[in-house]
Structure 1
Amino acid sequence: MTILYYSKINVNSNIFGVYDKELSIPDIMAKVFESLDDKQEYIKKELKNFTDRDTGESRTVESKEIYNFSELEKYRDLNEVYITGKLVRRYPIFSEKFDNKTRKSKPIVHEDNAVSINFYFDLKSEIVTFYVRQKFGYKQFNEAFEKLLDIHMLDIGFKVYLLNDPYKIQERLKMLHKVRKIKSVIIPPNVNEEELEDLFNEQTLELKESNVTRKTSVFETHKKNPKGMNIDSGMVRQTLDVSNVYISRGYGKLEIEGETIDGTLFKYDSEVDSYYNTSIHEEDKENRIKLIDAAKRGISALFSKITKNKLQNNRIDINSDDKNLN
């Protein structure tokens, strides 16, 4: 089986224009639908150091990776809008070539090696579904997809985050005993669907008023503190609750360091430990029709989980209010 990942496409730079009704997410996605092509490229350059075996000298070479879309197919009707295709990574391989005459090997570079990943981009839910390959992980995919969107849409900036499973997040948080550090990152959400309206709360309004498109909160206590952080305090609990809501929908991340009840060191990263995923048969991942079907079912299941989780939280809040009244 092959794991399918799900990433949220967030309109980050212009999100407050969306809140003020100057722009709409559907209009932006309509422009994305028209703009994406296989011509534009994202070029990532890095400097790499190595030692020349003949001279022993340190040398620096420029490594260049090129990303582009390929084999795009676009579909739109009254009920759905999506793009399928491949995201291609081209990169050099640093190797050696043996010279039969000198009986020595020399460093060479093989240019334009390529690996590609099929994806399904649902523009109504703003979710892209994909799998990973050797030499092409989910971090590279998300970065390249984000940069290509920015290149195609010069007046709009995007953020691409792995979606998290709302149940996995809660399960991980229950493992906490002593908390040493909490780092929360949230970004303003795309508010264009009924089930996301609850995100437009005091926190989001504060971000809008400050014109902040990324908020990072860090809480720490000394490692020798025998009690650890009080996660039930108002300040910390509010941060955890807000983070849980935001990151479960792909609008941020949460990192926690501490200990479990048996003293084992505990590190939690929502992007690594709680990502939402489904699976597809290995032989089906290259079949575009089957990939589309699996992606649609995965997105539908995710929103069902979010809705169920929201209803459960609402029932807990109601029960708490009833107890307070009594």
Structure 2
Amino acid sequence: MAQMYFYKFNINAEIYNVYKDETLQEKILNQVFEKLDSDMTYEYGFEEDEQDKMIEYKFCDLLKSSEDLAITGRLVKIYDGEVESYDRKNDTVTQVYEEDRAASATFYFDILNEEIAFITRQGFGYLQFGTYFVKLLEQKFPEGSFALILEKNIGELKSKLYAMNRVLKVTCAMIPPNANEAEFTTLLGASVDEFKETGATKYVQSMEIPAKGKNSIKVKTRFFNRLLYALGKGYADMVVEGRNKNNEKITLNSDEDAPYKLPIPESEKDSISAFREHGKCNLSILLKDKALIQMQDNGEVNGDKEE
């Protein structure tokens, strides 16, 4: 079975205007549906062996459904490079230079629910997918209009966090939630109005203690539960540095170590029509799991699911 990953699609630059005018969110999402097409391209250049190389990213094989405001298709990476093959006659390996090599990621974009389901493949990982999906959209929208946050398995993340022997440093990046303005208060508490006054659309906070000694940052606290809630809802990323039981340095990255994923048959992962159906089904599971994540009166986070 292949693995399907998920990104929470967030309106970013206009989020405070969305809080003021609820109709604006629907307007922006409809614009995304209309403007996302196969004409969008993004080129990335880099130097290698003193020769300029270019990598092109674009959408292709798009299937749009206006009934449920959803798009199925592929995000493809196009590049020139060498391919190795085995020469049985001469018992050796040969290299052949090929133009327009490709690596693609099939996706299902549920615009109404602001979620993207997708697969990865060798040479095109899930972090690359998120980066270039946004860069393609920015060909027709202002830079910073949207932010993609990889969906986390909050149960798996908590398990790995609590297993750390000592927590020495925590860095968390959080964006204003698209759900509603009240959700923002849940995330930031009393400081939400002061933060909104700044006009910033990303809140980065960090905390640490000296590595010497035996002290550890306490993670089973109300403060951390707010962070975990934000991660579980698709509004934040977190990196934790600490030590294991052997006093060895370890790092817990929420994107790399606890992505939310669900299976999809290998035989159907590249079929646009089949991927659409699996994407709809798996997104319904994700949304149900996210709905169970709640901040309780005592500050605890419940409803998390561990695979």
**TM, length-normalised to structure 1:** 0.80
Residue 191 of structure 1 pairs with residue 179 of structure 2? yes
Q: Bigger CA drift: 172-181 or 21-30? A: 21-30
Give unmatched runs, 5+ long, in structure 1. Answer: 51-59, 97-106, 319-326
Question: Could you report, residue by residue, the CA deviation over 1:258-309 in whole angstroms, capped at 9, with x for unpaired residues?
Answer: 1234545432110111111001110011222321222122221122222223
Paired residues of 1:161 and 1:252 also in contact (CA < 8 A): yes
RMSD of aligned C-alpha atoms?
A: 2.7
Query: Highest CA radius of gyration, 1 or 2?
Result: 1
Paired residues of 2:73 and 2:107 also in contact (CA < 8 A): yes
Paired residues of 1:42 and 1:66 also in contact (CA < 8 A): yes
Number of equivalent positions: 290
Q: Per-residue deviation at 1:239? A: 4.4
Residue 218 of structure 1 pairs with residue 220 of structure 2? no
Quote the Cα distance in structure 2 between the aligned partners of 1:192 and 1:239.
21
Residue 19 of structure 1 pairs with residue 22 of structure 2? no
Q: How does 1:61-210 map to 2 (within 5 A)?
A: 61-77=51-67, 80-94=68-82, 110-154=98-142, 157-192=145-180, 198-199=186-187, 201-202=189-190, 204-210=192-198
Paired residues of 1:176 and 1:260 also in contact (CA < 8 A): yes
Match of 2:234 in 1: 250
Identity between Structure 1 and Structure 2 (%):
28
Taking structure 1 as reference, are residues 156 and 5 closer, same or farther at Cα in structure 2, changes over 3 Å only?
A: same
Question: Could you report, residue by residue, the CA deviation over 1:68-118 in whole angstroms, capped at 9, with x for unpaired residues?
Answer: 1112111122xx22001111110121579xxxxxxxxxx996432122221
Residue 259 of structure 1 pairs with residue 243 of structure 2? yes
Q: 1:277 aligned to 228, 253, 261, which one? A: 261
Question: Could you report, residue by residue, the CA deviation over 1:92-151 in whole angstroms, capped at 9, with x for unpaired residues?
Answer: 21579xxxxxxxxxx996432122221100001111111011111112111110101111
Question: Could you report, residue by residue, the CA deviation over 1:146-193 in whole angstroms, capped at 9, with x for unpaired residues?
Answer: 101111223762111211122222222221331111111111121359
| Equivalent position amino acid for 2:4 in 1 | L
Q: Per-residue deviation at 1:199? A: 4.7
Paired residues of 2:185 and 2:192 also in contact (CA < 8 A): no
Paired residues of 2:177 and 2:183 also in contact (CA < 8 A): no
Quote the Cα distance in structure 1 between the aligned partners of 2:119 and 2:249.
31
Q: Per-residue deviation at 1:205? A: 3.5
Q: Per-residue deviation at 1:208? A: 1.6
Quote the Cα distance in structure 2 between the aligned partners of 1:194 and 1:278.
30
**TM, length-normalised to structure 2:** 0.84
Taking structure 1 as reference, are residues 218 and 193 closer, same or farther at Cα in structure 2, changes over 3 Å only?
A: closer
Does the residue aligned with 1:124 lie in a helix, a strand or coil?
coil
Does the residue aligned with 1:151 lie in a helix, a strand or coil?
coil
Quote the Cα distance in structure 2 between the aligned partners of 1:202 and 1:112.
53
Quote the Cα distance in structure 1 between the aligned partners of 2:282 and 2:133.
20
Give unmatched runs, 5+ long, in structure 2. Answer: 85-94, 301-307
Match of 1:42 in 2: 42
